[in-house]
Structure 1
Amino acid sequence: MANPRPLPIDPLAEAKRQWIAHGWTDAAGGMTAVISIMRAQQLLLARVDAALKPFALSFARFEVLRLLAFSRQGRLPLSSVVSRLQVHATTVTSTAERLIRDGLIVREPHPHDGRAAMLALTDDGRALVERATDALNDEVFSRPGLSETDTADLVGIVARLRRDAGDFTDPRPLPDPL
């Protein structure tokens, strides 16, 4: 996704200039913000993908494994995985099937609901997600490309955007601010 060499101009600055030139001044700042976030997501996802490639994991597969590894017993109901990852059930089911095929998780019956399924981490899955997490921490998360202050400011701004869009509500009592 990244260019082999930087462009001579910032295409988003040029897009903003064009927006203003075409009379869309009121929308120019918002367009620039939205497209900037989308481009940053592409750049960061490329780094994440590169860090996970040696483990044959997509970020979606990593997220399922990491979520299960964070749980107390290495297992969660499928519905909880869907809810916590905020993706469609079909996506989680498809991702889970690939992880099952690769021996990284197993599907188990739910202990209290015969209609529901549990996803459980295998020993191989736990070992892989720990190695992949170390790689992500080392190659991406410990050096996101921003100073600590800018990182904290960005997380706070994006958290407000997400909250105001209805992505979550502030829990009570409030945790430390992002």
Structure 2
Amino acid sequence: MTQPKPLPADPIAEAHRQWKAHGWGGVADGMAAVTSVMRAQQILLARVDEVLRPLDLTFARYELLMLLLFSRRGSLPLSRIGSLLQVHPTSVTSAVDRLEARGQVRRQPHPTDRRAVLAEITDEGRATALAATTRLNESVFADPGLPENGVTELVDLLTDLRSRAGDF
């Protein structure tokens, strides 16, 4: 992936300065924090997408494969997948459709609940999930772009944010 030319100055720092200059100094730090997290998400997602693209995966489909891989039976009800991944049922259906078309997941009737459908990972899905994990571990997770102590600090801060938001 070709990296864009770096900007000569930090636009978020400039926005922070402008917030203060326009009388919003009391919330300037919060604006800079939110904007920084959103920009960091874009940067990390671009790195992840670059790694997953050759496997024809999105991060959402990768997460679904890993959730199934980690499940006790290799299968979960679609409604449970949506709950665990915190996504709308339509997103689960779309991801399962795509993975099923590639032979990585198959739908199965639930053994005890006729209203429910299970998504079950296939051998192809397991192989793809493991290959993607190897690539992500090497190219992204081993060096997310922060100093080692910064990773722990960031995870702790974001865990607090998610907890306060009622995420868990």
**TM-score (norm. length: structure 2):** 0.97
Instruction: Measure how far apart 1:27 and its partner are.
Output: 1.1
Q: Tell me the SS of whatever aligns to 2:111.
A: coil
Separation of aligned partners in 2, 1:120 and 1:145: 34
Identify which range, 8-17 or 70-79, moves more after superposition.
70-79
Are residue 33 (structure 1) and residue 36 (structure 2) matched?
A: no
Q: Is the 8 A contact 1:77 1:119 kept in 2?
A: yes
User: Which residue is 1:151 aligned to?
Assistant: 151
What value does the CA root-mean-square deviation take over the aligned residues?
Answer: 1.2
Are residue 113 (structure 1) and residue 116 (structure 2) matched?
A: no
* Deviation readout 1:12-55 (Å, 9 max, x if unpaired): 00000110010001110100000000000000000000010110
Separation of aligned partners in 1, 2:115 and 2:61: 24
Q: Structure 1 residue runs of 4+, over 6 Å off?
A: none
User: Which residue is 1:175 aligned to?
Assistant: none
Q: Which runs of 5+ in 1 are unaligned?
A: 169-178
Structure 1 residues 23 and 9: alpha-carbon distance in aligned structure 2, compared to 1, 3 A threshold: same
Separation of aligned partners in 2, 1:149 and 1:36: 19
User: Which residue is 2:135 aligned to?
Assistant: 135
Separation of aligned partners in 1, 2:128 and 2:108: 20
User: Which residue is 1:58 aligned to?
Assistant: 58
* Deviation readout 1:48-97 (Å, 9 max, x if unpaired): 00010110101111111111011112111111111110000110111111
Separation of aligned partners in 2, 1:144 and 1:129: 20
User: Which residue is 1:89 aligned to?
Assistant: 89
Q: Which runs of 5+ in 2 are unaligned?
A: none
